[in-house]
Amino acid sequence: MSDGPDQDKTEPATGKKREDARKKGQIARSREIPSVAILLFALSVFYFSGGWMLDQLGFIMRNRFSHLMFRNFSIESAHLMLWDIFQKTIIVLAPFLGAVIVAGIVSNVAQTGWMLSGETITPKLSKLNPINGMKSLVSLRSMVEVIKSVIKILIVGAVSYAILSGEMDQIPGLVELDTSQILTLTGTISLRLGFYTCLALIVMAGIDYLFQHWQHERDLRMTKQEVKDEHKQQEGDPKVKSRIRAIQREMAMQRMMESVPGATVVITNPTHLAVALTFERAMPAPKVVAKGAGHIAEKIKALAKENGVPIIEEKPLARALFKTVEIDQYIPADLYHAVAEMLAYVYRLRGLVH
């Protein structure tokens, strides 16, 4: 059958797959639960207020039709009378109608939460495909629906037979009762029949909900490759991310090298490390504008030479600055003294030059 289990789909659905399915209206939902809830609410209203509704409807009809022969009857008066009967009938039936509406809303919201999706009602040409239609006729879901319909018929039939067979001895006596008594008796039997049927259908609805939940989880299952692909989409392709990081490093390196010509001094290790510092009177402390090791250190020193930036070899200070201070950060207080001596030396050199 078309709904046979897919051997490749062994992984449970991810959060994103569940969210996408929910947006499309694909959720675990039993249609039996709203049906049973509506039936139960309607029967409850009839049980507690059925007599009152029957009395009110009878009063409306008697009140409107009792004096009909004594009036000048016309099409206009007929319209007014029917409209008045309709309005008063709606008011009497309001508890019943309200119960049905509330039952339908509550039973659906309890299963799915508040959800609005136009996906399921959007016209799709694929739904007109006769091949897909034939596949759906032999699917597991359609077979279950057929079985449920048969079971419901059997339940209603069995409950009806059990109750009516116990009331058969009262049927001959109906000829001796007036209309109100007959209605009362048939109403009582009908309510009993409805409630017992409802109890049986509640059990069926619970089983159906469990099946729908299982079917939904089964439909959402994913292959291992689908899980990997979704993870890549969310986290990003590793190759793309690696390329982005490489571009970011290149841009950061370019910005760093552009800061070297304006540096005050470059402190070296002498060949392995190079740290460029800048200092102006408005700054709270000297700042590291560039640093690097090996090949990058050689580039920093070459730029410094080209732009006349003093290069001073001071191994301990170069190592300390390289390890503890990041680019565009001010030097820590414990290095103030050593850096101040270095800057003083640079200023003296500049004074000698000029």
- For 284, the token pair is 């709270």
Confidence of residue 262 (pLDDT cuts 50, 70, 90): confident
Q: Given CA atoms 247, 251, 253, 254 in this order, what sign does their dihedral have?
A: positive
Please state, rounded to an integer, the average pLDDT across all residues of the chain.
Answer: 79
Q: Report whether 309 contacts 279 (CB < 8 A).
A: no
Q: Tell me: pLDDT of 113 over 80.
A: no
Q: Closest Cα partner for 308 from 263, 352, 339?
A: 263
Q: Tell me: pLDDT of 337 over 60.
A: yes
Q: Is 288 helix (H, G, I), strand (E, B) or coil?
A: strand
Q: Tell me: pLDDT of 26 over 50.
A: yes
Query: Rounded to whole angstroms, how far apart are CA atoms 81 and 84?
Result: 5
Average pLDDT rounded to a whole number, residues 209-218: 84
CA 78 to chain centre: 54
User: What are 205-208's contacts with CB under 8 Å, separation 24+?
Assistant: 205/30, 205/32, 205/33, 205/35, 205/36, 208/30, 208/31, 208/32, 208/33, 208/148
Q: What is the pLDDT of residues 276-285, one digit of tens each?
A: 999 888 888 8
One-letter amino acid identity for 153? I
CA 59 to chain centre: 52
Amino acid 138: pLDDT: 58
Confidence of residue 106 (pLDDT cuts 50, 70, 90): confident
- In a 10 Å sphere around its CB, with 0-12 CB exposed, 13-18 middle and 19+ buried, how is residue 230 labelled? middle
One-letter amino acid identity for 281? R
Amino acid 251: pLDDT: 87
One-letter amino acid identity for 162? A
Q: Is 287 helix (H, G, I), strand (E, B) or coil?
A: strand
Amino acid 133: pLDDT: 53
> What are the chain's domains?
15-120+128-233 (no CATH), 257-353 (3.40.1690.10)
- Specify the pTM: 0.50
Q: 180 or 71: which carries more pLDDT confidence?
A: 180
Q: Report whether 204 contacts 159 (CB < 8 A).
A: no
DSSP string, 13-82: PPHHHHHHHHHTT-----SHHHHHHHHHHHHHHHHHHHHHHHHHHHHHHHHHHTTGGGS---HHHHHHHH
Q: Closest Cα partner for 170 from 189, 193, 196, 157?
A: 189
Query: Rounded to whole angstroms, how far apart are CA atoms 27 and 14?
Result: 14
Query: Which is it for strands 273-278 and 287-293: parallel, antiparallel or unpaired?
Result: antiparallel
Q: Output DSSP code: residue 276.
A: E
Amino acid 3: pLDDT: 46
